[in-house]
Structure 1
Amino acid sequence: MQSGRRHCVQFAVLPWGALDSRAWGSADRFAPAELASVLGDYATRVITPRGTTAVTGLELMTALRPPTRAVKDEATGTWGSGPQPGSLSAPVDPAPPEAPDEHPVVAQLYPRGHRRTPAEMLDEEAYDWIRDPELLTDAECAHTHAVGIDVNMAFAAAANRLNLGLGAPEHRTAPAFDKALPGSWLVDLSHIDFDPRLPNPFTPHGNRPEGPAWYATPTVAYAVELGHEVRPVEAWVRPETGSYLDAWYTRLRDAYMATMERLGVVSGMSPPDFLAAMERHKQADPGQAAVLSAIKATVKGGIGKLRERPQGARYRPGERWPALERPTWRPDIRAAVISTARVNMHRKMRKFADTGLFPVAVLSDCVVYLSDGPSPLDFLPHTPDGKPLPGGFRLGVSPGMVKHEGTQEFLWAAQLLDEGHNPARHIKGTDAALDGE
């Protein structure tokens, strides 16, 4: 203790795999002084690393929104600990549809080995969709290139100003939908039609739902936004709400923007200047590139940790595991973030579709379009006065804007589509999932 505050020292033991290359790139091969600078910059902009970047992302949530605060007992004049308003103050069990298969609440409801249907479980995941190649038009097949664009910090952007449940879920039967209530809703959205050249916004695979299914509030709210009537059969909602992740988003956004600035990429650049700066930014400073990679991994890993699954060969389904005792074990929050990110993607794709431009593949935050040139500038729609199309994808460095992910020849993309593979996964020439994208 020093001046009433706890202090600790974190050690990064490189031979023990302290810096996973999927998060930190080649930082473990840096000279000691350069590595110290990298870790120091990350600690200053984000937080002192606490194990993996995923663990650190979760620790950052807790550090910015502590579960408790000092509370004075007016009767005795003594100080004690009490819940912090706006925080996750205690562990809560998920609603049955929100729980992963291993969770005790699922084991109590279904026999072992039961395969839950969409009407029994919440399946809010990121997109992994490809267009049916039979739907490619002659005009599209005349294009020369497939170009991928990627949303910057998509999950962080989705977390910004997101209304989240703070307490335990409450069950309701035949409720009226309320977009202000975070939670999970059992509702049939299978009657809603979309152009088959677009992914369906209500499923991760982009196909039409087959009947009633569980959805997070942002997904159902999007159906209402599109003008459709929704009639939930039941719901698990959380009346106590707050923007729990706002401070987390702000901290990581500022860290990301500061690091990008060090790499020569700043807000307000013209699209050509931005694309040119992005082409060289990772070579501008390998140390800052490692910090950038770690910041991105902190976002995705932190969101993933909200639904940490059991680990270890000794675990038996139906048993509780240590992560369940954390206030931050909240699969409903993870679902709300991913749902919002997917809906944001669809809203922008729909805006482009109004101009006749349809994607051929989507993987998480990367979308692939066909083009007559290798650059995003060759296909991104503009208004008559040359400005980016309002409500669509816009090139830029800020979270929620897009960058160039990669370009391949049209025939390459067409062959992958014919084989049932996702071009977005390999548009960079590598496997995006293995690269941590």
Structure 2
Amino acid sequence: MNKLVNFPYAHVLVLGLAKSGAATAQVLLDSGIQVRVNDLKATEEDELVSELRSLGADVVIGSHPLAVLNNIDLIVKNPGIPYENVILKEAVNRDIPIITEIELAGQLAEEMIIGITGSNGKTTTTMLIYEMLRMSKTPVKLAGNIGIVATEVARSLRHEERLVLELSSFQLMGIKTFKPKIAVLLNIFEAHLDYHKTLENYKLAKANIFINQLEDDYLIYNADEPNVVEASRSAKSIRVPFSVSVKLENGAWVDEDYLYFKDERIIALKDIVLVGTHNLENILAAVSAAKLSGATNQGIIEVLKTFTGVTHRLQFIANINGRLFYNDSKATNILATQKALSSFNQPTILLAGGLDRGNGFDELIPYLKNVKGVVVFGETADKLKDTSLKAGIKTIIFAENVEDAVHKAYEMSESSDVVLLSPACASWDQYKTFEERGDMFIQAVHTIK
């Protein structure tokens, strides 16, 4: 097992238990560091509580008393805990550093990390890179925001293995020295402002993926996105662009028929399974990272000919009497839904709605030209109805939830229509996660089938 070496902190508070908190505490304890864990929702009956106590951790649950900061010289926080948390605010007053567990994973994995971030497309790009390396027989592991705790994987990482990490802005906001050998920055659009407060703060968090890189590291970036181009100018690393619109001598690009990396033709576009311009961007980023990591063309091509997408991200579900059902529940913001709508030229019925974050949806209007009907649900149903009316859509139906929306969409659809769940909203008004929302969509489709 890998351990933290020359770690400069002796007493660490792990704020938030869950999977990442437990893995963090384990790594710290194994490395001979004194650990205190504080969690608001855990109970004495939780196995993790008794397990960590048996390993020597001081576990405080049920509240956030300021006394947990006594004798603490570092906090490792769960990425989802806002910085307005009473413990974190007091830690700032006391000049106690605050990090996320990604920082520890970086120290355990050292020079073996490929990190991927962006407002959209992270999961798809991460999975593509992982599969391309795996198909090329390159030893590789997968972790991060994709649902696998990075620190836990980094503990057992062998020297010859690569670690492909999906990284959120929440995770990247809490780093000090974290440095991937290869960083991928897909796009930066307005998102998570309820957490970051301003777009500028969000941009800075995303840019942290390359802030510590050196001259022999690589930054793969989207040359078609102005925010990304602007941010990447400050990178010290080797900049490797990708573009769906222009030829690039030093990056990945496409013409009308083929995909290239620098001057090397990789694959015919007609042989790529994934649909949509946004997925082509993800593919170009993935090919760049894979090539720089030693993947073979054969391994890359095999993946691109077979990879049908990530669950809940423009995932094809079924063809029922000519209606094509797609699950894009992971589209929790307007940009993601814009990209999903841009992927189809045929008549589309859009299923959208969810948590109301205070924003409007008029930015969707230019992308609704192929939408013949909309089924709205959740807190944002009225706002989405107003946007649909502005776009000239005449058929707008209210549904109780996603399951109800599927049946109502089928009733109004015709053969060769696309029925697309792409909510443009978070799921938390009706569902615990976007995964649960997508699973409900899939189950409802299969009841029709």
Measured against the shorter chain, the TM-score band is under 0.3
Instruction: Considering fraction of residues, name the structure with more strand.
Output: 2
TM-score normalized by the length of structure 2: 0.26
TM-score after normalising by structure 1: 0.26
